[in-house]
Amino acid sequence: MKKLPFILPLLLIGFFNIYNVAHSATVAINPSHFEIIGKAGNVIDGTFKFEADKGAVYQFFIREFDADGTKGQIKILPDNPKFPINKWVQFFPSQITTTSSNPQTINFRINVPESTEERDYYFVILAQPIPISADGKQTSATALPGVATNIILSLFDKSKAQGDLKITLTGNKVQTPNQAVLDLTIQNNLNKFQTINGAIELTSKITKKKQTFTVIPQNVLSGAVREMTTSLEPEKPPAIYLPVSEPGIFEVLATVTGDNGVKYSSSKLTIFILPSLSFLFYPLLTIILLITAIFLSIKIFLKKKN
């Protein structure tokens, strides 16, 4: 069988979050997520760094995950004995007692059967603390997983991906400079996990000047929907920086590409960016002062004439 030891880190830390359960121990797995590329029949070797308080005892196992809503969070699914990855993954060691405060390297191996279906498999590596009693012996008490790292095992030829991406761009019709808010929603109808790249283009309907703003790359699971925004909303990724300072009427268009390289565009949106009070303050003040000066000058002139 062919051995494929390389692991490709994903571009953006943020689509998947580390799954933490509150406890007093310091626990970490790095990297927090990565993608593994392989084929049916491969033996895939990988490593990760594990860190915990000295003397802590942990065991490693896996669990399937899925997209949780549209905010880029993940949902760890209940234990499913029929999930095939359970039989494919081995850890070396499968249980560890930390001997120092420095990160320790954990090796794992994925034995992919020859008959495996071409698809993406989503799973997390969980580190579960093993409760130890006062006399130093393992107890029967249960403990929730302390930390997880998210993995996409891709046994898929990207050229065979079928489907498309659906792009929706929304925003208020009337907005103010430097506070323009647009929301971008991407629905991945492809049968393959996608890393999304793209941009939002603003074109002035008056001057025809174009401005292009890059969308920070986002990860979208197959069949999932991802929401992004230009504002700082709770749990919604601020994937677009939109420093539009000048008022005007703008036509807005979002264009993105997935791993298949095909461009997908949203419907065009027209927004009116009106001057804010702070934007108008100095011009209005200047006009008022100018009018006042003219009025006083005329009044003085007429008084001298009389």
Higher pLDDT, 23 or 60: 60
* Fold match flag (7-156 vs 165-278): yes
Q: Which two tokens stand for residue 60?
A: 């490693």
Rounded Cα distance between 122 and 153, Å, is 6
Domain 165-278 has CATH 2.60.40.10: yes
207 pLDDT above the threshold of 50? yes
The pLDDT > 70 percentage for the chain reads: 79
> What pLDDT was estimated at residue 127?
86
Render pLDDT for 98-141 as a digit per residue (tens, 0 to 9).
887 788 899 999 999 998 888 899 999 888 888 765 555 543 33
> What pLDDT was estimated at residue 282?
59
Taking residues 234-255, what's their average pLDDT?
77
Taking residues 169-182, what's their average pLDDT?
84
> What pLDDT was estimated at residue 21?
35
Of 234, 170, 222, the C-alpha closest to 196 is: 222
Higher pLDDT, 283 or 63: 63
Q: Which two tokens stand for residue 16?
A: 């998947």
Annotated domain spans of the chain:
7-156, 165-278
Of 29, 33, 36, the C-alpha closest to 8 is: 36
> What pLDDT was estimated at residue 139?
39
> What pLDDT was estimated at residue 44?
93
Render pLDDT for 64-89 as a digit per residue (tens, 0 to 9).
998 888 877 788 889 888 899 989 99
> What pLDDT was estimated at residue 113?
94
> What pLDDT was estimated at residue 284?
65
Band of pLDDT at residue 201, cut at 50, 70 and 90: very high
CB 245 within 8 A of CB 252: no
Render pLDDT for 252-303 as a digit per residue (tens, 0 to 9).
999 999 887 889 999 999 999 887 655 555 566 677 778 887 877 777 777 7
CB 240 within 8 A of CB 200: yes
Architecture of domain 7-156: Sandwich (2.60)
Taking residues 35-43, what's their average pLDDT?
90
10 pLDDT above the threshold of 60? no
Average pLDDT score over the chain: 78
> What pLDDT was estimated at residue 18?
33
CB 55 within 8 A of CB 97: yes
175 pLDDT above the threshold of 60? yes
Taking residues 23-27, what's their average pLDDT?
55
The strand pairing partners of 80, in sequence order, are none
In our burial notation (b when 16+ CB lie closer than 10 A, e otherwise), range 38-66 reads: bbeebebbbebebbbeeebebebbbbbbe
